[in-house]
Chains A and B, each alone.
Chain A
Amino acid sequence: MIEAKNLNLYYGAFHALKDINLKVAEKSVTALIGPSGCGKSTFLRTFNRMNDLIPGVKIEGDIIVDDENIYQKGIDVDRLRKRVGMVFQKPNPFAKSIFENVAYGMRVNGISNEKVIKEAVEQSLKQSALWDEVKDSLKKSAYALSGGQQQRLCIARALAVEPTILLMDEPASALDPISTAKIEELIHELKKKYTILIVTHNMQQAARVSDFTAFFYMGSLIEYDLTKTIFTNPAKQQTQNYVTGRFG
């Protein structure tokens, strides 16, 4: 169960998220859409408490992940981020080999059994549809990979620590169409095992990859429904204006 309850977020005096209530469907893809500054990325980052790192941020309300309010006192944020993986707009591999990039999360989590790590690296690279392309060059620097491959490597890195939720902040916006298609296909495969939240500015991408879509505007959740409904017959005029490109 993943849910935002009466969620309000402030950056200093700026009210960035206004009373958001949203239940995310498990093992499905939920797209967060809306114009720049609407709060969609801020909302995404509340699920792994990335906003905690921003000075002056104040959060009210609850985010429930696996029946636990992740904003309650005593939550182990490192453990949370293991459960809630994140993929960013630009691929950000470490200056390490392909193998070590994927193994990194396990090593920092105290796993030292090389056999276990090797199996997990292979498994993660297979899940991220990169294995066939890199299996013979695992010791090469991650920087030798193309942008699309680097992004799939980052997804593999996130999967290696066995999260249940994947947050993706415009994961394909810096990629060419073929790499984008691979990432989208990967998202389609990954939702069988993971709950995925994706922020995208690409309306067609939201329509193609997601099962549910949440439309944000000026910090408010305007409409949340099946993606098919949002893109064929949204209930709110504001949503219709946005998805048809008439504002935003």
Chain B
Amino acid sequence: MTHLEEELKELKQQVTKMFVLVHSQLEKSYLSLQNLDKDIAHEILMTEKRVNALELKIDLDCENYLALYNPVAVDLRYVLAVLKINSNLERIGDIAEGIARFVIDSSTTFSNELIMHTHTNQMFDVSLKMIQDAEDAFINEDTSLARIVFKQDVILDNININANNNIINFIKNNPDDLEQCLHILSTIRKLERVGDQAKNIAEEIIFYIEAKVIKHSRKL
């Protein structure tokens, strides 16, 4: 392996670490929300600092790689893609932190009925699966898996579109749960954005491997 390939391998390891960290953050935010576990929520806030630090490290590594190695072709696309993937992952980390803050601020346990009724649980499952698929696609350079990420985003979009009605219906029957309904609605909005971030990551993986720009395009 050349020195240059070792640098790229090291960068890939850092990004993989970021994927794992962010996936774990979102998973923990789900757990903390389900059980109103404020300890886990506080843990998420602490770990968010690691996510931010890793984002800066990856950015710096990319900057150094561009300056020192002047990459071209697939190597250039790879570094450009990593910069964007890194930024999208960091935003997912922010979203997990945001959900953790709802848990910390909330005075009562989130009703299971509300979570089921609004399909929030399904949103968490799909979001986590999308991040996992994006990670696997990145590690294995598997663009067909990256394309599967797009299909899953449709599920999140549909749940998000129906969220207002679902929440209104729930409030009608449970007017005392207004505060947690608002938190759940915000959580749904956040998870919808996780889907967008995962989709962006999938686009970058396809760009780097196939040299195809599919952003703003319906063609996959």
One digit per residue, 1 when the CB lies within 8 angstroms of any chain B CB and 0 when it does not, for chain A 220-248 equals 00000000000111100000100111100
Rounded to whole angstroms, the CA-CA distance of A212 and B134 in the bound complex is: 36
Q: Is the CB of B70 within 8 A of A244?
A: no
Chain A nearest CB from B182 CB (Å) reads: 47
One digit per residue, 1 when the CB lies within 8 angstroms of any chain B CB and 0 when it does not, for chain A 176-205 equals 000000000000000000000000000110
Q: Is the CB of A232 within 8 A of B70?
A: no
Q: Is the CB of B2 within 8 A of A207?
A: no
Chain A nearest CB from B42 CB (Å) reads: 46
Q: A232-B76, A232-B77 are in contact. Are A244 and B71 (CB under 8 A)?
A: yes
User: How many interface contacts (CB-CB < 8 Å) are there between A and B?
Assistant: 30
B75 nearest in chain A by CB position: A244
Chain A contacts for B4, CB-based, 8 A: 244-245
A239 nearest in chain B by CB position: B73
Chain B contacts for A204, CB-based, 8 A: 70
Chain A contacts for B71, CB-based, 8 A: 244
Which of chain A's residues 119-138 have a Cβ closer than 8 Å to chain B? none
One digit per residue, 1 when the CB lies within 8 angstroms of any chain A CB and 0 when it does not, for chain B 55-74 equals 00000000000000011111
Q: Is the CB of B2 within 8 A of A231?
A: no
Rounded to whole angstroms, the CA-CA distance of A233 and B74 in the bound complex is: 7
Chain A contacts for B73, CB-based, 8 A: 231-234, 240, 243-244
Chain B contacts for A233, CB-based, 8 A: 73, 77, 211
Rounded to whole angstroms, the CA-CA distance of A246 and B75 in the bound complex is: 11
Chain B contacts for A240, CB-based, 8 A: 73-74
Rounded to whole angstroms, the CA-CA distance of A232 and B76 in the bound complex is: 7
Rounded to whole angstroms, the CA-CA distance of A231 and B74 in the bound complex is: 9
Chain B contacts for A243, CB-based, 8 A: 72-73
Rounded to whole angstroms, the CA-CA distance of A234 and B76 in the bound complex is: 12
Pick the most buried of A231, A234, A244, A245: most chain B CB atoms within 10 A of its CB.
A244
Rounded to whole angstroms, the CA-CA distance of A36 and B40 in the bound complex is: 61
Chain A nearest CB from B46 CB (Å) reads: 40
Chain B nearest CB from A85 CB (Å) reads: 30
One digit per residue, 1 when the CB lies within 8 angstroms of any chain A CB and 0 when it does not, for chain B 71-108 equals 11111110000000000000000000000000000000
Q: Is the CB of B211 within 8 A of A232?
A: yes
Rounded to whole angstroms, the CA-CA distance of A231 and B211 in the bound complex is: 12
Rounded to whole angstroms, the CA-CA distance of A101 and B61 in the bound complex is: 50
Chain A contacts for B72, CB-based, 8 A: 203, 207, 231-232, 243-244
Rounded to whole angstroms, the CA-CA distance of A189 and B73 in the bound complex is: 27
Rounded to whole angstroms, the CA-CA distance of A221 and B72 in the bound complex is: 20
Pick the most buried of B2, B70, B73, B76: most chain A CB atoms within 10 A of its CB.
B73
Rounded to whole angstroms, the CA-CA distance of A223 and B32 in the bound complex is: 57
Chain B nearest CB from A248 CB (Å) reads: 12
One digit per residue, 1 when the CB lies within 8 angstroms of any chain A CB and 0 when it does not, for chain B 10-34 equals 0000000000000000000000000
Choose one: A203, A232, A245; the contact of B2 (CB below 8 Å): A245
Rounded to whole angstroms, the CA-CA distance of A243 and B75 in the bound complex is: 10
Rounded to whole angstroms, the CA-CA distance of A207 and B71 in the bound complex is: 11
Q: Is the CB of B77 within 8 A of A246?
A: no
Rounded to whole angstroms, the CA-CA distance of A233 and B78 in the bound complex is: 12
Pick the most buried of B2, B72, B74, B77: most chain A CB atoms within 10 A of its CB.
B72
Chain A contacts for B5, CB-based, 8 A: 246
Other A-B contacts than A243-B72, A244-B4, 13 sampled, CB-CB below 8 A, are: A203-B72, A204-B70, A207-B72, A231-B73, A232-B73, A232-B211, A233-B73, A240-B73, A243-B73, A244-B73, A244-B74, A245-B4, A246-B2
Task: Return the 9 tightest CB-CB contacts between A and B, nearest first.
Answer: A233-B211, A231-B72, A244-B75, A243-B72, A240-B73, A204-B70, A244-B73, A243-B73, A245-B4
Write the residues of chain A forming the contact surface with B, with a CB cutoff of 8 angstroms.
203-204, 207, 231-234, 240, 243-246
List 8 interface pairs A-B (beta carbons < 8 Å), by A numbering.
A204-B70, A231-B76, A233-B77, A233-B211, A243-B73, A244-B75, A245-B2, A245-B4
